[in-house]
Structure 1
Amino acid sequence: MQIAGKRAIVTGGTDGIGLEIARLLQSKGARVLVCGRNAERLEQARKAGFDAVSADLSTAEGCAGLLAELQGEDIDILVNNAGMAGNFGPDDPLDLNFTDKAIFLNLNAPMHLIGSLLPQLKSRPEATIVNVTSGLAIAPRGGGPVYCATKAGLRSFTQALRHNLKDSSVHVVEALPPVVDTNMTAARDGNKMSSAECAAQIVAAVESGRDEANVGMVKILQLVNSISPALARKIMIRF
């Protein structure tokens, strides 16, 4: 895809991977709208030249509000990046309120946006949908069952959607990041990829028309999973 001149929407685009994707798309000539929930970050995004909309995509009302803002837009790129995680160990209670919000934000919201915006996307000469899942969509970790389940669900949805749109002008990309240095992973130790490098690999996949952006160490996980899914699960469950 030629990014220059395109209209792009990036959910969760005021921080972390989403912000870096937005910056990179903007630097390549796209007009970018970001959405988020933090008023200060939204104002910073506006000062950086982005259109910015306040939207809580963990609710159907928040999705409807964003879609109302996009009425009449010619949209070429939709990046479903907004997400939330949470750790649930063996002795932790399962917070069902949090679980419902995470399921909606991570899985339902992309479906709401895609379902509503697909006619506009199909009308464009070329368009791209990017669904940001995770290496954990391939094999889960024990400490994040809800997050892993939603990302695995989005991965399956993305693969089926790509098949259904194969004869259209809309290309569907799945981005699978590893552990990235963001606010979401601030409490985690170990090596983390920078948000900027993760975004660069995702945008490169959009430009080259690849179906998947297996970012960083996810390339190795994909290789292990292709040889032995059981081994991949055994490695990742303790990750």
Structure 2
Amino acid sequence: MNLQGKTILLTGGTDGIGLRLARQLRGKGALLIVTGRTPERIAAAQAEGFEVIAADLAGPEGAEAVIAGLAGRPIDVLINNAGMGAAHDFREAPPLEADDERTLWLNVHAPIRLIGRLMDTLRARPEAMIVNVTSGLAIAPNAGSPLYCATKAALRSYSMALRAQLKGTGIHVLEAMPPLVDTAMTAGRGSNKLSPEECARQIISAMESGKDEANVGMVKVLRAVYSVSPALARSIMLRF
């Protein structure tokens, strides 16, 4: 896809990978509409010249706020980037149901809800794209964040089935699978993290080349191992 002149709705675009995507996509000539929920980050993104729709997508009202903010405007690309991980490790403490619910909404329900609400708009465009940002953990889970892994695996399955449904239409479905990226969400977790700038660059490259999957950074290695032996890939990842 040539991104010049495309109108892109990007969720979670005021921080982390999303903010870097917004900046680089704007550099490609795209028109960005981003979502955010933190007033300070919203203000900072607006100061950079981005249009921001305030919406907390970790609940049922969030998707409705986004649709209302669009006010019927057509979009060419929907990027479901917003995501979160809740502490869900019984070896340390029982998980909090409220945090689990927010994670399920943000990582699974909100992307599916937005896709459903915006499908007619996307179908009406000469060329359109849906980008679902999952994770390398959607391929093989780790032991430390089972709920996060489950939500990303769910969105991966949804993306694969949706791509099959939309085959032959003007809507392309891209799944982006980042590795551990150096963002606020991963603070204090692991080392050798990929920079959010490089993560964004690789996702945009996949958008431009029309790929079905963007295996970002070390996810390329995990994907290769999984293609040879799914059991080995799972065994390696479950050590963490």
Deviation string 1:198-238 (CA, Å, 9 cap, x unpaired) is 00000000000000000000000001101111110010012
* 1:33-112 equivalences in 2 (<5 Å): 33-89=33-89, 90-112=91-113
**Structure 1 residue 62: deviation in Å?**
1.3
Would you say the 8 A contact 2:62–2:110 is kept in 1?
Answer: no
Q: CA deviation at 1:3?
A: 0.4
Instruction: Tell me what 2:214 maps to.
Output: 213
Other-structure match for 1:197: 198
Q: Which residue in 2 is equivalent to 1:114? A: 115
Q: CA deviation at 1:68?
A: 0.9
**1:106 counterpart letter in structure 2:** N
SS of equivalent to 1:9: strand
| Contact 2:87 2:95 (C-alpha < 8 Å) held by counterparts | no
| Aligned pairs (5 A) from 1:108-147 | 108-147=109-148
- TM-score, normalised to structure 2, is 0.98
What are the Cα deviations for residues 48-91 of structure 1, in whole angstroms up to 9, with x where unaligned? 11101110001111110111111321100110000011233323
Distance between the aligned counterparts of 2:152 and 2:234, measured in 1?
15
1:13 corresponds to: 13
CA offset at residue 190 of structure 1? 1.1
Query: Distance in 2 between the 1:189 and 1:237 partners?
Result: 15
Structure 1 runs (4+) deviating above 3 angstroms are none
Which digits, 9 at most, give the CA deviation of each residue in 1:91-135, with x for residues without a partner?
A: 321211110110010000000000000100011011111000000
Which segments of 5 or more consecutive residues in structure 1 lack a partner in the other structure?
none
The whole-number CA distance in structure 2 between the counterparts of 1:71 and 1:121 is: 15
Partner in structure 1 of residue 157 of structure 2 = 156
Give the equivalent residue in structure 2 for 1:27: 27
Tell me the TM-score normalized by structure 1: 0.98
